[in-house]
Structure 1
Amino acid sequence: MAGVGTEKVFENDKVIVWNFTLAPGEETPIHTHEHAYMWYAIEGAPLQIFDRDGKDLGTLEVPTGAVYSLKYDNGFLEVLSEPGKGMRVPATHKARNAGSKPYREVLVEYKS
């Protein structure tokens, strides 16, 4: 499985910080989140989410400047913040930039 971001930029005993970028139409590899996390959208775009079998799970609109918080719960992730509050997806999935502009975020995983 791939990491949850494009480039790991920091790690200590409490957090892992990732840069994450996707060009228009680009997809992440299938990856698994094992921690609760948050992210800040530096450059927003709609992210289309797919499960490990390629089933379309919906599109999350991610505006520039948005902050998202997700909890990990027994193999699933749940969006705690707006927009997207209550959306649940499998912790193992992939995402595609469904927009026409590059997408960029900073993601912080909480180890505890």
Structure 2
Amino acid sequence: MAGVGTEKVFENDKVIVWNFTLEPGEYTEMHTHERSYMWYAINGAPLQIFDEEGNDLGTFDVPTGAVYSLMLDKGYLEVLSEIGKGARVPATHRARNVGATPYREVLVEYK
């Protein structure tokens, strides 16, 4: 994993677009989001989130076709979209696909 996604597919002066995949049971590397962003779940799965110390912050169910918008605020990401609205997670975290199928999303960071 490079940065906040698996593969950077586009970048200009306004956005960075990432492809992101996570196989069942696979963890992301610990990473830090430095920008607000949105994502579209191409293949949804439940994602278990962990903070920097490895504490389990819970499982976030991401349905296929869902669109999420997150705002970076003082070291936390706040969900602005209807699904998950108001949830907050540390900007530095890792995730694990706890589902039975591969997870895939397209993530767009705002510059």
Bin of the TM-score, shorter chain as denominator length: over 0.9
**1:7-86 equivalence runs, <5 A:** 7-86=7-86
Task: Name the CA distance, whole Å, in 2 between partners of 1:83 and 1:55.
Answer: 23
SS at match of 2:58: strand
Q: Which runs of 4+ in 1 moved over 4 A?
A: none
Q: Which amino acid aligns with 2:64?
A: T
Q: Deviations over 1:74-95 (max 9, x none)?
A: 1100111132111101100000
**Structure 1, gaps ≥5 residues long:** none
Q: Which amino acid aligns with 2:38?
A: M
SS at match of 1:10: strand
Task: Name the CA distance, whole Å, in 1 between partners of 2:58 and 2:87.
Answer: 9
Q: Deviations over 1:48-98 (max 9, x none)?
A: 110011001111110000000000001100111132111101100000001
Task: Name the CA distance, whole Å, in 2 between partners of 1:53 and 1:86.
Answer: 23
Q: Which amino acid aligns with 1:17?
A: V
Task: Name the CA distance, whole Å, in 1 between partners of 2:95 and 2:28.
Answer: 5
* TM-score calculated relative to the size of structure 1: 0.96
Task: Name the CA distance, whole Å, in 2 between partners of 1:101 and 1:33.
Answer: 25
Check conservation: 1:61, 1:83, Cα contact below 8 A: no
**Structure 2, gaps ≥5 residues long:** none
Aligned residues: 111
Percent identity between the aligned chains?
Answer: 80
Q: Which amino acid aligns with 1:3?
A: G
Q: Which amino acid aligns with 2:99?
A: G
Q: Deviations over 1:15-52 (max 9, x none)?
A: 00000000001000000000000000000001111001
CA-based RMSD: 1.2
